[in-house]
Structure 1
């Protein structure tokens, strides 16, 4: 075990640190995280439209189209917000104007992705003449295109600003006006480039990128058990070395996670059936069924610490049980510590993988639905699984069952660790005496 740990520490950690500090990947991660308020609020409207009360669906039907608008303009155009967020954070890392970079990112995304359609026959009550664009082209289906076009736009903007290929105004001009004029030439270049590629070369960058990443996305966040286990294994492995697993993998996995849950939300908005959705392994799958109490399913360990005979572990249990209930587990990960601890690393990695397998088979067998909403991670586990699966009591029960299973998995390793702690405390008492 020590030999494996030394090997991973020597070869894996340097790579992980470089990955976690790469500016483009950080911009992607932070830009997508910045859209969380929109997706969470949009999720509540999906939930509100599907409350499990008798007669509720008939009562709300006349208002459904109006009440659906907040969802359409949050989750439904998420790629648009993501383009601005990614571009803004990348500009921040380069120390160039974030607002201009964000706006140019949106411009690049829209020109590269959205194709206006000429109206040939009027649609009564909708449009008589002119051109229209589909809101679907701004949804999760274009998320990867939004990310790439935002990165390209900011790189062009940054290059031109740093090489002084801009329009300079006197110092007496107000800063806001000066920044606007300095962005004129970059705007022209970005617009002409995206316009020429999309309409001159007829190259759809979003379709190409989506095609390229679709096999990886299908593996990691689709319905592949192997992909789901690989994802959770890597998250736990990084945490075992004291590195935030989700943060390190975030630039790679978060666009896929966000795309997956948005696809589920849009599908559920259309069919109203949480059992018939595109993706099983969303972030919420792990959040509510697997990572009970935080990464590693550590709420079970906090409870075991709470009833421990070892004074240190009992005190640690008192300090970590409440944060654990709300899925915050850094105190126990670094307090026990679990990091680099041969007694606790094995269940810390093994437990989430076992729970993933159990939940996967419960899902494909139809016992529990898939995830159709995005809630704050601090929601209590059973409540989170209940709401996120369209009020499925079975999902709520499964979360509780998984918690009991995590207790059983952690228990023998906890007893070995407790025995060691009791010996240490006995030795300390003898020295003090």
Structure 2
């Protein structure tokens, strides 16, 4: 059994992890992860207003700041379109196109959401198409524009011409801009195709699967699995962000219409509540506490040094210093937690034992169970927190004790060597 585990770890560290790191760094893949990171400030801006609205519900005299949500969180689709094309040009080395490709993508996205312009020049379109529901559409628009700009950019049109540089620059921009916009005009207005609805329909199976228990568990497990290999969960932003954003947007709309929230796969349920990610991705808080009382001097010191970040659900210090990353004894319980935690939360919320979040507050550094109560608006979150805390502790304990024994033996050996010297 030990030999099998050793071979498995050798394959993970020397083959699988390096291959995935190279894959994640490929321009077309890195583009999406980078673009999603760039729009996080706009998501957090909307989160701050939702948090403010919680306070405002108790102090009605405070001013209404809902318009800030509409033009931050409510513009995520549009912002995504710009950032995907912008980051693609940066990753592909076409730095002269970063702005023009991004702006072209904005124009294309606006056409994709199928606006109506009447004879008097009045522009009308469903405002919700600009927001989180449109993230997938923004990604598609950004990639299509990027493919065209990349194709033209590689050919360096008129680069050997004797014309002034600014004229050559115009031509090199006009060709891809004209192609992108012309193609979109033909599809949307000439063929009268609602690309927004079509794209959402094509991606609906992915969105739908993400809101099922298997999809929910799989996504969190994958993020955690790769994290234990030293690969940041940001790699999965392009997958989780559209699912999570559409999920919370639908929950907000449902509650405003007097209906119950139904989508559990949201950033709020996974990160903000601090239940699945108690101490950080992989639920490392109880590991941290075990380390604080360890018989190993090294583990005790590390545990106490990293406890405060863990309380605020920041676990990079313990993941890389314990270490959990590439440590088979601690990787396995991390994987188990990433399966058990989502299942418990799914059963709790679907079974009516805990409210499903219906406010967009994506601040994952609020300590649980304070954040758990705040985001679910349900004091029963305390009981769920206690149950999961004990469950995570039971999962970590046997693996930790084996690791602790190894560390104590290493420390004793080092002490003997120091004495002999």
Identify whether the pair has TM-score above 0.5, normalized to the shorter chain: yes
Instruction: Kindly state the Cα deviation for residue 357 of structure 1 after the two structures are TM-superposed.
Output: 1.4
Name the residue aligned to 2:114. 114
Q: Work out whether 1:80 is the aligned partner of 2:78.
A: yes
Question: In 1, are the aligned partners of 2:30 and 2:91 still within 8 Å (CA)?
Answer: no
Question: In 1, are the aligned partners of 2:114 and 2:194 still within 8 Å (CA)?
Answer: no
Name the residue aligned to 1:154. 146
Distance 1:313 1:272, change over 3 A: farther
Name the residue aligned to 1:314. 300
Counterparts of 1:278-317 in structure 2, within 5 Å, are: 278-287=262-271, 288-317=274-303
The whole-number CA distance in structure 2 between the counterparts of 1:3 and 1:352 is 23
Instruction: Kindly state the Cα deviation for residue 178 of structure 1 after the two structures are TM-superposed.
Output: 7.7
Instruction: Kindly state the Cα deviation for residue 430 of structure 1 after the two structures are TM-superposed.
Output: 2.4
Question: In 1, are the aligned partners of 2:33 and 2:235 still within 8 Å (CA)?
Answer: no
| Root mean square deviation of aligned Cα | 2.8
**Which residue of 25, 29, 32 maps to 1:28?**
32
The whole-number CA distance in structure 2 between the counterparts of 1:190 and 1:278 is 38
Counterparts of 1:256-271 in structure 2, within 5 Å, are: 256-268=243-255, 270-271=256-257
Name the residue aligned to 1:123. none
Name the residue aligned to 1:187. 177
SS of aligned partner of 2:137:
helix
**Which residue of 323, 338, 353 maps to 1:367?**
353
Question: In 2, are the aligned partners of 1:229 and 1:353 still within 8 Å (CA)?
Answer: yes
The whole-number CA distance in structure 2 between the counterparts of 1:156 and 1:36 is 27
**Which residue of 48, 51, 56 maps to 2:52?**
48
Unpaired runs of at least 5, structure 2: none
Instruction: Kindly state the Cα deviation for residue 180 of structure 1 after the two structures are TM-superposed.
Output: 5.9
What number of residue pairs does the alignment pair up?
A: 408
Deviation per residue, 1:10-63 (Å, 9 max, x gap): 664355234312322221222122111112221232343344856x56x67xx7
Instruction: Kindly state the Cα deviation for residue 334 of structure 1 after the two structures are TM-superposed.
Output: 1.9
Deviation per residue, 1:277-322 (Å, 9 max, x gap): 2410223322122111112111111111111111110111122112
Q: Work out whether 1:240 is the aligned partner of 2:228.
A: yes
SS of aligned partner of 1:295:
coil
Question: In 1, are the aligned partners of 2:114 and 2:196 still within 8 Å (CA)?
Answer: no
The whole-number CA distance in structure 2 between the counterparts of 1:179 and 1:49 is 48
SS of aligned partner of 1:280:
coil
The whole-number CA distance in structure 2 between the counterparts of 1:11 and 1:423 is 30
The whole-number CA distance in structure 2 between the counterparts of 1:10 and 1:310 is 29
The whole-number CA distance in structure 2 between the counterparts of 1:179 and 1:323 is 50
Question: In 2, are the aligned partners of 1:160 and 1:186 still within 8 Å (CA)?
Answer: yes
Name the residue aligned to 1:89. 87
**Which residue of 289, 312, 318 maps to 1:326?**
312
Distance 1:180 1:400, change over 3 A: farther
Question: In 2, are the aligned partners of 1:166 and 1:186 still within 8 Å (CA)?
Answer: no
**Which residue of 191, 196, 199 maps to 2:186?**
196
Name the residue aligned to 1:212. 202
The whole-number CA distance in structure 1 between the counterparts of 2:248 and 2:31 is 20
The whole-number CA distance in structure 2 between the counterparts of 1:192 and 1:395 is 53
Unpaired runs of at least 5, structure 1: 120-127
Q: Work out whether 1:251 is the aligned partner of 2:243.
A: no
The whole-number CA distance in structure 2 between the counterparts of 1:191 and 1:396 is 53
Counterparts of 1:327-342 in structure 2, within 5 Å, are: 327-342=313-328
Choose 396-405 or 73-82, whichever is displaced more. 396-405
Distance 1:129 1:186, change over 3 A: closer
Deviation per residue, 1:303-348 (Å, 9 max, x gap): 1111111111011112211221222222222212222323212211
The whole-number CA distance in structure 2 between the counterparts of 1:375 and 1:44 is 8
